[in-house]
């Protein structure tokens, strides 16, 4: 009897773990199905430059623009009170969709999958507080930059760690981000802890599982603001970066449309407004 109970407990545990594990990726199951339709229907009209998935003809024919993101990065993208993806990038993307006269659909996925997803046409573009880097530029085309940012260090309040004493420490980052690249390439860290979500890094630091977090400025500020005074943001930036939206290489039509809307919003001072609005909300 004891054995059976033990086996059953193990099964229940395994089941519940499987359920937890699949929550994130499966969240998008239904929207993924519909975004697949986007790329499928694109084969029909192979207009010279824009016959690819995500060309403007396809987007207009389908009546929707599909944005790819990773919603663990407030104020740029996070899960809002109603459970849907909110933030600066979704709001900017909504303006792009409005200017094109189509609906906006958002697919939330792991950050490290975004570039591949843009390349394979899983969506039309990535909007994820994504930094322009030379390596990424080889794989996707970037829009105009719409935000300037930098990597910053978060430490436990009162910690003596600075950017000059990072060697030999354990550093938490979001996987495949510029914070990860900094911790991996510029520092002789004892260990780099890579998390799927940006906000998870703060929890690890509060729990004492690492010595420092390297993260983009505004998400880092959000983590510190929500840490009940346990964490502190060091004032010196580690890098200089610019964010842009990413489209599939060669998708010049969509890129032009994105750039036109970005320029309009920047001229109107709207991006700054959205940053302030979401920094207060997130
Ligand atoms: N700016 C950094 C990068 O491009 C981090 C971006 C993380 N974005 C996100 N939505 N989680 O690597």
Whether pLDDT at 159 is above 50: yes
Mean pLDDT of 193-207: 97
Residue 117: exposed, middle, or buried by beta-carbon count in 10 A (0-12, 13-18, 19+)?
A: buried
Distance 177 CA to ligand 1 centre (A): 5
CA distance 222 to 196: 17
Mean pLDDT of 95-109: 98
pLDDT confidence of residue 281:
87
Q: Which of 4-8, 19-23, 67-71, 224-228 is predicted with the least confidence, judged by mean pLDDT?
A: 19-23
High-pLDDT (> 90) share of the chain, %: 79
Vertex 127 angle, CA 282 and 104, to 5°:
90
Q: Are 112 and 150 in contact (CB under 8 A)?
A: no
Whether pLDDT at 4 is above 90: no
Task: Tell me the best of 68, 69, 70, 73 to mutate to test the pocket of ligand 1, counting ligand atoms within 8 Å of each CB and taking the most.
Answer: 73
Model confidence over 224-275: pLDDT tens digits? 999 999 999 999 999 999 999 999 999 999 999 999 999 999 999 999 999 9
Distance 223 CA to ligand 1 centre (A): 15
């Amino acid at each position: 009897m004891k054995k059976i109970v033990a086996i059953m407990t193990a099964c229940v545990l395994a089941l519940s773990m499987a359920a937890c594990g699949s929550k994130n990726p499966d969240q998008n199951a239904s929207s993924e199905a519909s975004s697949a339709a986007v790329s499928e229907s694109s084969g029909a009209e192979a207009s010279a430059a824009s016959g690819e998935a995500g060309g403007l003809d396809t987007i207009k024919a389908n009546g929707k623009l599909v944005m790819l993101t990773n919603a663990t990065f407030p104020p740029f993208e996070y899960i809002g009170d109603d459970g849907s993806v909110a933030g600066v990038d979704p709001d900017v993307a909504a303006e792009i969709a409005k200017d094109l006269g189509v609906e906006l659909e958002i697919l939330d996925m792991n950050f490290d999958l975004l570039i591949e997803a843009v390349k394979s046409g899983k969506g039309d573009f990535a909007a994820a507080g994504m930094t322009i880097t030379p390596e990424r530029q080889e794989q996707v085309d970037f829009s105009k930059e719409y935000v300037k940012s930098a990597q910053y260090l978060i430490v436990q309040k009162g910690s003596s760690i600075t950017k000059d004493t990072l060697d030999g420490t354990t550093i938490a980052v979001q996987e495949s981000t510029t914070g990860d690249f900094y911790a991996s390439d510029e520092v002789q860290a004892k260990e780099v802890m890579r998390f799927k979500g940006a906000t998870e890094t703060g929890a690890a630091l509060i729990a004492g599982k690492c010595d420092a977090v390297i993260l983009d400025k505004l998400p880092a500020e959000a983590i510190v603001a929500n840490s009940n005074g346990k964490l502190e943001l060091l004032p010196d930036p580690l890098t200089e970066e610019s964010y842009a939206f990413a489209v599939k290489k060669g998708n010049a039509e969509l890129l032009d449309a994105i750039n036109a809307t970005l320029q309009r919003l920047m001229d109107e001072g709207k991006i700054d407004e959205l940053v302030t609005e979401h920094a207060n909300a997130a």
